[in-house]
Amino acid sequence: MTETPETVRPPVLFADEHEEFAEWVRGFAAPYSDGYLDRAHSEEFPWEMAQRMGAQGFLGLGTSEKFGGQGVIGEQLTKTHLGIAHEELAYADFYLSQLAYTCNLTAPLLERFLPAHVAEDWVPGIVGGEHIVALGLTEPGSGSDAAAMRMRAERTEGGWILNGEKTSITFAPHAKAMITFARVDGGTDGEGGITAFLVPLDSTGVGMQKFADVGWKPLGRAGVFLEDVFVPDELVLGGVGDGFRLVMREFDYTRSVIGLMASGVARRALDLSIDYVRQREAFGKAVAHNQGVSFPIAEHATTLEAGRWLTYRALSLADADLPFTREAAMVKWWVTDISIKAVRDCIVLHGHSGYSEELPFQAMLRDVSGLEIGEGTPQIQKVVIGRSLLGKEFR
């Protein structure tokens, strides 16, 4: 029997360096827990928090030291490190994790695919928490089917003219720019003509409609409309026609990390509930004595732990440069689902107070639910899993 390489084994125990890294993140994040509920109710963007995160390096995980980051993935850091960071940040405050998630995605993309002199204008500001760059993929008629997008780019002297609409773009109301994917006029049907552009959102022809969401309030979400927007050649990412491959390469990683963000929030909700049921009394004793209370806690602790390690399994495959599309889809579907169920039962355990906005559980439920619909719905993840098991001919 062939021995499985060490890098492919599920990390049932973290290495010492991972434990130390987790402690570092945990120490930074813990003081933000008390402010989570106030942030969840506010539409004000947490710029001060972002800048503090930047000063500590949490927005530069995956960005080179040249641009103020902590190092590129595969050298100083691994995707497992990123997963640990996002889990620990989400446990303390979902918005810490979401800020890190977006910045640690967009900054490395810009560093890698923009000309160096252009990247210098954008990447350090992201890493330092001074500005945000949103990711604009979803359109009203195309979400997970990235190849079906209708945003168009037409060649013009010195650059491109973009026309179309993106929808449900997180951070758009506060972003300085958006990484936008468009089909190049004359490109072939399917994936061949899709190109990535960095579009400054103060460009002439950019319009925006902010969404009135129930959650994610401080982050903001909007539809973005581009009408004859000029983008110079130097703001093309990855070359003409390479946008589809660029974004699809990132999907497996982002879907995996979302699992740790969701389970991090749910574990926090569960820990708060455990403290509560130990103290809450009914009929002369703490309600934690009742199996109707202890059993759901036991069940959710078990599934959340299983979900965590499924996610780290996916990230360990990524670090070993092995395929992990199926595992990432499993994480995106199942871990967000069990996290929502855990938070919902925590609300029930708190009774009427859990239903109020005085406690954080309603905000947690809304925030985790937002993760469920992002980066591909649960239904499309099941399609991905099914195809990987049955073959692409079974759709």
Contact by Cβ (8 Å): 338, 309: no
- Tell me the CATH number at 267: 1.20.140.10
The pLDDT assigned to 103 comes to 96
Residues 121 and 139 in one domain: no
Residues 123 and 139 in one domain: no
The pLDDT assigned to 5 comes to 45
pLDDT in tens, 30-66: 999 999 999 999 999 999 999 999 999 999 999 999 9
Residue 395 placed within a domain: no
Structural domains in the chain (count): 3
Name the active-site residue from 88, 139, 372, 375.
375
Look at strands 285-286 and 133-136 and give their pairing.
Answer: unpaired
The pLDDT assigned to 145 comes to 65
Residues 250 and 313 in one domain: yes
Residues 329 and 386 in one domain: yes
Residue 48 placed within a domain: yes
Residue 79 placed within a domain: yes
Residues 327 and 266 in one domain: yes
The pLDDT assigned to 239 comes to 83
Q: In the listed set 241, 276, 304, which residue is the last one of a domain according to the structure? A: 241
Q: Which residues of 272-308 are buried (b: 16+ CB within 10 A; e: fewer)?
A: bbbebbeebeeeeeebbeeeebeebbeebbebbeebb
Residues 205 and 291 in one domain: no
User: Tokens 């910045």 correspond to what residue?
Assistant: 103
Residues 336 and 372 in one domain: yes
pTM (2 d.p.): 0.91
Residues 256 and 237 in one domain: no
Determine the Cα–Cα distance for residues 332 and 311; give it in Å rounded to an integer: 9
Cα–Cα–Cα angle for 343, 345, 349, rounded to 5 degrees: 115
Residues 57 and 93 in one domain: yes
Question: For the chain, which residues score pLDDT lower than 50?
Answer: 1-8, 10, 189-191
The pLDDT assigned to 147 comes to 63
Residues 47 and 170 in one domain: no
Cα–Cα–Cα angle for 283, 286, 290, rounded to 5 degrees: 85
Whole-angstrom CA distances from 74 to 82, 121, 215, 316, 318 are 11, 25, 34, 12, 10
Determine the Cα–Cα distance for residues 120 and 331; give it in Å rounded to an integer: 35
Residue 251 placed within a domain: yes
The pLDDT assigned to 192 comes to 52
Determine the Cα–Cα distance for residues 196 and 253; give it in Å rounded to an integer: 19
The pLDDT assigned to 3 comes to 43
Quote the domain boundaries for residue 348. 245-390
The pLDDT assigned to 393 comes to 72
Q: In the listed set 131, 162, 183, which residue is the last one of a domain according to the structure? A: 131
Q: In the listed set 223, 241, 259, which residue is the last one of a domain according to the structure? A: 241
Q: Round to the nearest angstrom and report the end-to-end CA distance of the chain.
A: 34
Q: Does 375 qualify as catalytic in the annotation?
A: yes
Residue 226 placed within a domain: yes
pLDDT in tens, 72-104: 888 878 999 999 999 999 999 999 999 999 999
Q: What are the structure tokens assigned to 70, written together?
A: 């902590």
Residue 1 placed within a domain: no
Residues 257 and 369 in one domain: yes
Residues 197 and 211 in one domain: yes
The pLDDT assigned to 2 comes to 41
- Tell me the CATH number at 71: 1.10.540.10
Residue 28 placed within a domain: yes
Residue 98 placed within a domain: yes
